Every structure is written in structure tokens, then in C-alpha cells.
């Protein structure tokens, strides 16, 4: 079977989708809407961003609700909570917190890890940049971040993480070649300067970013022919990013928010439905419509 590829006009179609996109409507649905008010400086943005990205499991409504619960429990002072987390210990304010399989003890260990990273490296940006290196090795940067957040390797001194914690921070260089959606999303928030992202990491170029490949982005990327892979992996992340780089080499991930929220909002029904697909500007590229003659 022939591999599905987007049309020659795909860059023009994608730019049109971006231009017309209702960013304000979709920001209200996005976990980033809870982070933005707390991002008053780079460290506050890092703390709020990594906590929101870490619990970004499940649908956006439940993620926003869980993050709002966390902020309320900590009275809005997430960075102050990290600054005081010199040890890994229970925090009565987090008692009973849960979101999907994430529990209070996971956040307490993460708070302790962030405190340690702040003391040793100064910021998460420094950790990421150490892995990124002069060659712009994005997977290396994510790998370095994941290891710092996971904590000491087995056999080295320091408190051990609670059961289930390590699976919060996979690495693209691990045996499963995880797409690492949550850490990749966190880095997008920190690096990109264009709305709605935070633009706090001025030492990292948007050109090195990779797409945070959640299920919505994967679905539309596959149907637009940006990848032929049938599963989400780091290889799929690289393939989709390479296709987006052909549209904007300086900022390939600028389209991520739009592709993601086209799925979340229901703008894309994920099936051929002429009432919804009719006005879709990327319909000429869509696998579900290629070759179909439709008068709109």
C-alpha cells in the first residue's frame, strides 16, 4: 500500500490552520492556563511547569482540576514549598492528594528532588542544557532532566523514591524509547517565546525542540501523513518533528498546540464527517479524504 504523504500545499494549509486557530478558547482548556499566572520568574515557572507537566496524565479537565487542587493545598506558593523540601517527608497539606495513579508521596519526592536540583545545579534549564550540549542533542537534554528528577541511581546514597515514581520520568534513551510527552511538553512551555508558551529558557533555541506526542497530536500527524509509524515512540517523535521542520525550521513545534487542541476541542471528529471536515483547511492532506471528490 502506498505511504500516505501530505499534499504539496500542506505548509500553506498548516499555516492557515495556525492563523485561524482560537488560541484563547483552547488555552482555557489547557494545563498551561494554570501555570501561566504562577510563572512570575524562571524558577517559579520551572516549578509550576514541571509539577503541571508531571501530572499531565489523562484528560485536560482532570489535569487542570488536579493542578488547581495542588496549588490550593500549597496556597499558591509552589516555589516556597520546594525551597522548604530539604528532605523527603510527608507533607500534611498534600494528604489525600491523588490524580489517576499519582499520589501525595510522588509529589513529595518530586518536591525534594527539585530542592536538590536547585541546590546543586541552580535550575532545570541548567540540567537540560548540560545534556543538550553544543550539538543541540534534544534527547540528551531530556535524558539528563529525567535522571535528575528520578534521583540517585540504585546503590548510591539518598532516600529512595516511592513505588511508581520512576515511571513518571522515562527517557528517550531508555530501552522503551519513550516519546516522553510530558517532559517534552514542559520544555516546549519553557523555551518557546510565542503565545501561549512561557519563553523562560532564553539559552535554548526553539529550533531544537521536539513535538510532545500525545494521542491527539499522533492521530492527526498520522492522518496528515507526517508519520507512517503505527505507534508512539521516540522514533515517531523525531519523524513528526522532521516533517514539521519542513514547514518552519526555526520553530517546528509552534504547530503543536494547534494540532493538539484541534483534537481536544472536537474541531477534528477523527472520522470523515462532512459537516465538520468541510471547512477543515488540512482536509486535502487528510488520509480520510484523499482522493474523495467532495463539493463544499
Binding residues for ligand SF4, rule: CB under 6 A, are: 220, 223, 268, 270, 276-277, 280, 282-283, 286, 288-289
Residue 3 to residues 31, 45, 104, 191, 281, Cα–Cα distance (Å): 35, 42, 46, 33, 21
Q: Which helix (H) or strand (E) holds 183?
A: helix 181-191
Cis peptide before 196 (omega within 30 of 0): yes
- Nearer to ligand SF4 among residue 132 and residue 260 (C-beta): 260
Residue with the three cell numbers 490550593: 72
Separation between Cα atoms, residue 236 and residue 227, nearest integer Å: 7
Say how far residue 111 (Cα) sits from the centre of its chain: 20
Please say which residue, 74 or 282, places its beta carbon nearer to ligand SF4. 282
Q: Please list the alpha-helical segments (H only) found in 21-59.
A: 23-27, 32-35, 42-54
Q: Which is nearer to ligand SF4, 208 or 264 (CB)?
A: 264
Tell me the C-alpha distance between 71 and 73, whole Å: 6
Report the run of H or E that residue 99 belongs to, with start and end.
strand 98-99
Nearer to ligand SF4, 67 or 222 (CB): 222
The answer to whether 97 and 111 have CB atoms below 8 angstroms apart is no
Cβ 237 to ligand SF4, closest distance in Å?
20
Considering beta carbons, is residue 71 or 280 the nearer one to ligand SF4?
280
Cβ of residue 59: shortest distance to ligand SF4, in angstroms?
A: 19
Nearer to ligand SF4, 210 or 283 (CB): 283
Q: Give the DSSP letter of residue 56.
A: -
The minimum distance between CB 13 and ligand SF4, in angstroms, equals 10
Distances (CA, A) of 262 to 23, 26, 172, 269, 276: 11, 9, 26, 9, 12
The CB-of-218 to ligand SF4 minimum distance in angstroms stands at 13
Least distance in angstroms from the C-beta of 9 to ligand SF4: 14
Question: Between the CA of residue 48 and those of 36, 74, 79, 82, 222, what are the distances in Å?
Answer: 9, 12, 8, 10, 32
- Minimal distance, residue 216 CB to ligand SF4, in Å: 11
- CB nearer ligand SF4, residue 18 or residue 289: 289
Instruction: Give the shortest CB-259-to-ligand SF4 separation in angstroms.
Output: 9
Amino acid at each position: 500500500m502506498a505511504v500516505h504523504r501530505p499534499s504539496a500545499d500542506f505548509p500553506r494549509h498548516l499555516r492557515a490552520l495556525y492563523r485561524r486557530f482560537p488560541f484563547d478558547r483552547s488555552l482555557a482548556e489547557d494545563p498551561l492556563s494554570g501555570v501561566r499566572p504562577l510563572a512570575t520568574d524562571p524558577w517559579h515557572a520551572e516549578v509550576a511547569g514541571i509539577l503541571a507537566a508531571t501530572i499531565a496524565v489523562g484528560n485536560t479537565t482532570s489535569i487542570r482540576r488536579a493542578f488547581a487542587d495542588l496549588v490550593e493545598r500549597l496556597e499558591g506558593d509552589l516555589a516556597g514549598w520546594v525551597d522548604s523540601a530539604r528532605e523527603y517527608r510527608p507533607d500534611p497539606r498534600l494528604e489525600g492528594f491523588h490524580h489517576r495513579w499519582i499520589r501525595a508521596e510522588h509529589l513529595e519526592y518530586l518536591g525534594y528532588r527539585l530542592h536538590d536540583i536547585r541546590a546543586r545545579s541552580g535550575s532545570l534549564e541548567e540540567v537540560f542544557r548540560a545534556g543538550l550540549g553544543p550539538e543541540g542533542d534534544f534527547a540528551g537534554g531530556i535524558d539528563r532532566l529525567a535522571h535528575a528528577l528520578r534521583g540517585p541511581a540504585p546503590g548510591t546514597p539518598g532516600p529512595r523514591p516511592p513505588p511508581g515514581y520512576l515511571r513518571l520520568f522515562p527517557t528517550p534513551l531508555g530501552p522503551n524509547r519513550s516519546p516522553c510527552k510530558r517532559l517534552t511538553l514542559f520544555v516546549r512551555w519553557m523555551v518557546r517565546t510565542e503565545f501561549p508558551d512561557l519563553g523562560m529558557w532564553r539559552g535554548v533555541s526553539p529550533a531544537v525542540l521536539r513535538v510532545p506526542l500525545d494521542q491527539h497530536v499522533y492521530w492527526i500527524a498520522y492522518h496528515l501523513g507526517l508519520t507512517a509509524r503505527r505507534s508512539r515512540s521516540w522514533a515517531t517523535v523525531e519523524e513528526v518533528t522532521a516533517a514539521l521542520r519542513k514547514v518552519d525550521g526555526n520553530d517546528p513545534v509552534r504547530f503543536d498546540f494547534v494540532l493538539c487542541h484541534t483534537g481536544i476541542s472536537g474541531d477534528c471528529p477523527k472520522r470523515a464527517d462532512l459537516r465538520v471536515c468541510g471547512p477543515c483547511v488540512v482536509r486535502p492532506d487528510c488520509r480520510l479524504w484523499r482522493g474523495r471528490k467532495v463539493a463544499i
